[in-house]
Structure 1
Amino acid sequence: MRRAVVLPLTFALFTAACSAPAPPGGSAPSTADDTFVIALSSEFESLNPMLGYSPDGGSLMFDGLMSRAPDLSMEPALASGPPTTSKDGKTVTFTLRDGVKFHNGQDLTSADVEYTYETMLDPKSSSPIAGDFAAIKEVEAPDPKTVVFTLNYPYAPLVQRTTLGVVPKGASLKETPPGTGPYRFVSWTPGDKVAFTANTAYWGGAPAIPKVVVAFAADDNVRATRMSAGEFDATILPPKVAAPFRTQAGLKVYDVAANDYRGIMFPMKEPVTGDLAIRKAFSLAVDRQAMVDTILAGAGEPAFGPISPATKWYNAVVTGKGTSDPAGAGKLLDEAGWKPGADGIRVKDGKPAKFTLMYPAGDSLRKELALAAASDARKIGLDVEPAGLDWDAIEPRMAKDALMMGWGSAYDPDYINYELFHSAYAGKGFFNPGRYDNPKVDKALEKARESGEEAERKAAYDDFQKTIFEDEAWSFLVFLKHVYVIRGDWQGVTPGVDGHEHATGGLFRNLHTWKPAK
C-alpha cells in the first residue's frame, strides 16, 4: 500500500519533540501539553472519508454507522443497533443513534449518511474506494433517523463496509470535513504531522487523552531512535527493530496478530517475470521459514497466498513448503529452457534471467526480505537486483519491475483481493500493478462478491486462491505480527487482529478509551 490509503511514502520527519519520557515506574507519560504522539511510517493522502480516509474504521475524527470490536465483530456506532436486511438481501436498513452532533455543532441526520455515500459513489468524485461499494445501487433517507441501502445484489460484506466515516451534508471533497468522532481536527502540516484535540462532547464519552499528534517518519530505525529518546509515545516497528524495547523501562511492547502479508508482485507483461517457470522457480527457491525465524524473529509465519490460514476462508490447497527447494527449482527451469550461462545466470533465447526487485528504501523489513529473496534466487541462477527507492520513483516502474509489496485484510476476503487480482483493475495505480489477467480469477471474485450464500462464496474463494497459486501471480512470503511500542502503562489497550496497517486503526482504534493505569 502507498500512504495511508494507498501505499507508504518517504516523508520529512516530525522535528518537534511533543512528549517527554515516561516517569519511573512505567506510569502514563506526563507531557507538558498533554499530547500523545503516535509515529506512523506513512502519511495520509486525504483526511476525507469520501476520498478513502480510514474507510475500515479506526479514525480518530469520524464514526461509521458500525464499528469493529477487537475480535472483529460488528458493533453499532452512529447506528442505534444492527441493521435489518430484507429476505432477498438487497435492502439493508439502519436507524440512527439519538443526540449525535458533528464537531461543528450540527445534528447528525440520515441526510448526512446519504450524502456521504452518494458523493463517494459519484464518478465525478473519482473516489479511490468507490469500487469497494459497487454493490450499492442507492442510498435513501426517508426520514431523519432512517437510512436505507438498496443493493444491486446481495452483498455479504455490506455491514462491514459501513465503518466508512460519515460527514455533514454538503461537505467539500477539497477540505477536511468535521466528523462525529472522539477527536477534532486541528491542523495538518503535510509531510510532518496531523494534530487533533479531544471532542469533550463525544457521544461515546470524552477521551482521557486531551491531545493527539500523528507524526510521520518513514524510516523504521529513525522511528525507533526517536521512540527511545522520548519524542514519540507510540509507534509500530518491525520485530527486530522493536526487540530492544522489550527490556526498556517505561515502555510496553504488544505483539498483535495480523492478516498482513509481504510478497512480491511480478510484472506479467515482461519477458522474464512474465514467464511462469521463472515465477514458480523463484517461489521454490525462497526459504520462507528462514525469513520468519531470522528477519521476523519468529513473529510470523510463511505465506503462500493472500488469505490467512487463521481464517475460515483459507484454502489449504495453496500451502507450500516453508523451506526452499533449489533442486526442484533448477529442474523446473531446465525443463522450461532456462539454461545456466557461463556466469551461472540462466539464459533462454539470448535473454538472461534477470530482473529488478524494488522496495521502499525506509522500510527495513521489506529491505531484508528483498535481500534474502534475491540471495535465494541467485542460488538457482536467477539474477535479482534489489533496489531501495522512494515511492515516487517506484510508482512509474511497477509495470516493468517486481516490487516487494504489503497488503492484507482481517475482514471479508472481498476486501483488497478484488482490486489486487481482478483484471478490471490492471495497471490502476497500486491495485494490480503487475497487470495480472485471468478470466477464471475474475469469475471467482465476481461470484464471491455477488453471492449471498456463504458456502457458495467459500467455494469461489477456494477457486480464486487455487488459481493465483497455480499462476504464481505473486510470490507471497510471510504473514507477520504487528509490534507496537507504547510509552507508559494504560488501561483499555485491547489487541485484536490487524489488517495491513497504514492509518490510526489497529491497536490505536480505541485510543479515546485509554486511561492511565493506577
Structure 2
Amino acid sequence: MHCAVTRRSLLSASMFAATASLVGCGADAASRGSAQDHDASKNQVVVAMNATSEPAAGFDPLVSWGCGEHVHAPLIQSTLVTTADDLSIVGDLATEHLCSSDGLVWTFAIRDDAVFSNGDPLTASDVAFTVNGVIESPGSEADLSMVERAVAVSDTVVELHLSKPNNTLLYTLAVLGIVPEASYGDDYGHNPIGSGPYVLKRWDQGQQVIFEANPGYYGEAPVMERVIVVFMDEDAALAAVQKGDVDIAYTFATHADRTFDGYELTAFKTVDSRGISLPCIPAGGTRVLEGDIAYHTGNDVTCDVAVRRAINLAIDREQLIDNVLNGYGRPAFSVGDGMPWSSPDMRVERDIDAARALLDEAGWKSGTDGIRERDGVRAAFDLWYSSDDSVRQATAHEVANQLAELGIEVKPQGGSWDEIYPHQFEQPVLWGWGSNAPVEVYELNYSTGWGNYSCRESAVTDAYLDQALAQTDVEASYEYWKKAMWDGTEGPAPQGDASWAWLANVDHLYFKREGLVAPQGKAQPHGHGWSLLNNVASWTWK
C-alpha cells in the first residue's frame, strides 16, 4: 500500500495517542482516548458502522466497492462523474461528456492533473481499463452490461461504446472508482491505489479501517483529514456511544428514544424504500431463471387488480411509520420518491371506504370469520420478509393488522433470503429498495426486468422505459420515467395495475456527537452504511 505522509495528514501528539489505542485494541475500544481527547482531534472523526458493511473483497471497484448493491462514493478512488445533491450529473475526472445522436457512444474528456496516490498520472487508459475490467469480470456488481467496450482515444479522451442506448450508464459511472492499469493486481482490494480524496492508511479486517487525506488529490482538500470506521454490531455501537468512544454511530428506530450525554439523535432522509410486490397473474405459471432454476409464479388473490388497488388504498402509511419506525420515516409511493424522475401520479391517499367498495364490486364477500372470499378463493396470502430484520418483521405484522380491517388475511412469514426467493413470484414479499439512480424503476417495472417480481407485463410501459434510456440528455428522460408509471391510461401506479404497495422511506438514524457538523447531502439510498460518508470530506467540528 502506498501512503504518502505530509503535514496535512499529521495530527497532534494527543490525537496520535488516541489513535494508537484504537489501532491496538481494534473495534473493542473504538478509542481515541474517549471524550477527553476529543478537542485534540478536530480533524478526525470516528464512525461506528454495521459489521456487514465491511467490504468482503476489500476496496476494489471492479468487484463491489462503491458500486455494489448499496452504492456510495468510493472515497479512495475518483469517478468519471458524480451526482450533485439534486441528483444532476456533474463532472469529477471528466471535464465534459457528450453522447452521439444514436445514443451508442459516450465520450468523456479527462482532466490532466489527476494522479494516483503512488504518483502515477491518471489517463484515459486507466478509465478504459477500469470499465473493460468490470465488463469482463463475472464477479463485478457494477452494472455496465450495456457497454461493449471502452477505448482510450488519447491520454485525455475515452469513449464508451454501447450495445443499446442506456443513459443510466452515467449513474453507474458516478460510483465506479477508477483504478490504475499499471498497478492493479489480485491484492488491489487490500492495497488500493486511487486518486480520490482519501488513501487507505490501515485495515484491520473485522475491526476497523483508517482513511487519511490524499495529499495529491486534485480537488479541494478534505476538511476531515482522518476518518476511522469501526465495524460493530448494534449493541456494540451503542456501547461505544455510551463510553464516548465514537463520534457517530448507526442505530435503528427501536432505540430512538434512548439518550446519551454529549450526543444527539440525527435522522437522515433517504430513498430507502419499503414496498410489497403483488403478483399480477394467476397461480400456476413457471419462470425459469439462471438457466435451469424454475420458480412458481402467480397468486389467485393478488392477480385481481381490485385487490391490489384496494391494498394500496387501505394502507395507513402514517400509522405504520408511527407504530413501526417511531415516526422516523416518510410515506413511500414509489421506489424513488422525490427523485427528479419520480412520478407524482404514484401518490395515493388512504381511503378505506373506497377500498372496501372496490372489493365489494369485484365480488369479494365477507365470510363468517370476516375474511373475504370469491368463488371459493379465500382472500388470504403469505407476506414474506427477511427474518433477520426486526423492522421488516414489525412492518409485515402492521400491514397484516391493517389489511385485516379490509377483510384480507395476511400471514407474515419470516425467513432467510434462501427461503424467500423460491416464493418471490408467487407470494407478496416485503422488499427494501432505493438508489440515487432510476435503474430500479426500470428493473422493477420492465417486463423482463430482474426485479419484476409482480410478473406484470406491458408493452406500453416497456416502450416508455426504453425511451427514457435512449435520451442523450438525462434531463429529457425524466418525462418518460414518469409516463412509464402512469400516462393517464395505464401503468403500474395505484390507480392502474397497482403492481406494488409502497409503504415507507426509512430514515437512517445515527447518534452523533454534539459539535459534529455532518450535512444531509443527497438522500441516502437503501443500505444503512457507507453512503453516510458520501460527503465526509466536508464534515467539520464546531
- TM over 0.5, shorter chain: yes
TM-score if structure 2 supplies the norm length? 0.77
Aligned match for 1:342, one of 364, 368, 374: 368
Cα contact 1:281–1:332 (8 A) shared by 2:
yes
1:139 and 2:139 aligned: no
Aligned length: 482
1:241 and 2:265 aligned: no
**What per-residue deviation string (whole Å, max 9, x for no partner) do you get for residues 176-204 of structure 1?**
26241313274474xx4552342543414
Counterpart for residue 465 of structure 1: 485
Q: Higher relative CO (CA 8 A, sep ≥ 6), structure 1 or 2?
A: 1
* Range 371-380 or range 156-165, more displaced: 156-165
Evaluate the alpha carbon distance shift between residue 179 and residue 386 of structure 1 in structure 2; reply closer, same or farther with a 3 A threshold. farther
- Aligned partner of 1:51: which letter? V
- Aligned partner of 1:418: which letter? Y
1:213 and 2:216 aligned: no
1:500 and 2:529 aligned: no
Aligned match for 1:424, one of 448, 454, 462: 448
Distance 1:367 1:212 in 2: 32
SS in 2 for 1:258: coil
* Range 149-158 or range 256-265, more displaced: 149-158
* Range 221-230 or range 111-120, more displaced: 221-230
**What per-residue deviation string (whole Å, max 9, x for no partner) do you get for residues 36-87 of structure 1?**
23313743464432234322542233221223344444444333x2335556
Q: 1:309-458 alignment to 2 at 5 Å?
A: 310-321=338-349, 323-325=350-352, 327-411=353-437, 413=438, 415-426=439-450, 431-452=451-472, 457-458=477-478
Structure 1 stretches of 5 or more lacking a match? 1-13
Q: 1:189-204 alignment to 2 at 5 Å?
A: 189=205, 192-193=206-207, 195-198=209-212, 200-203=214-217, 204=219
CA shift, 1:442, in A, is 1.9
Evaluate the alpha carbon distance shift between residue 396 and residue 51 of structure 1 in structure 2; reply closer, same or farther with a 3 A threshold. farther
Counterpart for residue 138 of structure 2: 125
Percent of pairs identical after alignment?
26
* Range 294-303 or range 82-91, more displaced: 82-91
Counterpart for residue 7 of structure 1: none
What's the Cα RMSD here?
3.6
CA shift, 1:375, in A, is 0.2
Cα contact 1:50–1:173 (8 A) shared by 2:
no
Counterpart for residue 277 of structure 1: 306
Cα contact 2:315–2:403 (8 A) shared by 1:
yes
1:148 and 2:159 aligned: yes
Cα contact 2:103–2:470 (8 A) shared by 1:
no
Cα contact 1:224–1:241 (8 A) shared by 2:
no
- Aligned partner of 1:295: which letter? V
Evaluate the alpha carbon distance shift between residue 312 and residue 30 of structure 1 in structure 2; reply closer, same or farther with a 3 A threshold. closer
1:259 and 2:271 aligned: yes
Cα contact 1:82–1:94 (8 A) shared by 2:
yes
CA shift, 1:448, in A, is 0.9
TM-score if structure 1 supplies the norm length? 0.80
**What per-residue deviation string (whole Å, max 9, x for no partner) do you get for residues 241-270 of structure 1?**
33434xx33224333332332111234413
CA shift, 1:135, in A, is 4.5
Distance 2:264 2:38 in 1: 9
- Aligned partner of 1:318: which letter? M
- Aligned partner of 2:124: which letter? S
Cα contact 1:264–1:405 (8 A) shared by 2:
yes
Distance 2:354 2:340 in 1: 31
The structure whose Rg is larger is 2
Cα contact 1:20–1:230 (8 A) shared by 2:
no
CA shift, 1:449, in A, is 0.7
Aligned match for 1:66, one of 81, 91, 109: 81
**What per-residue deviation string (whole Å, max 9, x for no partner) do you get for residues 5-27 of structure 1?**
xxxxxxxxx96232368527985
Counterpart for residue 316 of structure 2: 287
Distance 1:175 1:396 in 2: 36
Q: 1:36-55 alignment to 2 at 5 Å?
A: 36-40=46-50, 42-43=52-53, 44=55, 46-47=57-58, 48-55=60-67
CA shift, 1:496, in A, is 1.6
CA shift, 1:421, in A, is 2.0
Cα contact 1:114–1:141 (8 A) shared by 2:
yes
Evaluate the alpha carbon distance shift between residue 72 and residue 188 of structure 1 in structure 2; reply closer, same or farther with a 3 A threshold. farther
Distance 1:313 1:278 in 2: 28
Aligned match for 1:116, one of 120, 123, 130: 130
- Aligned partner of 2:404: which letter? R
Evaluate the alpha carbon distance shift between residue 105 and residue 388 of structure 1 in structure 2; reply closer, same or farther with a 3 A threshold. farther
Counterpart for residue 288 of structure 2: none
1:93 and 2:93 aligned: no
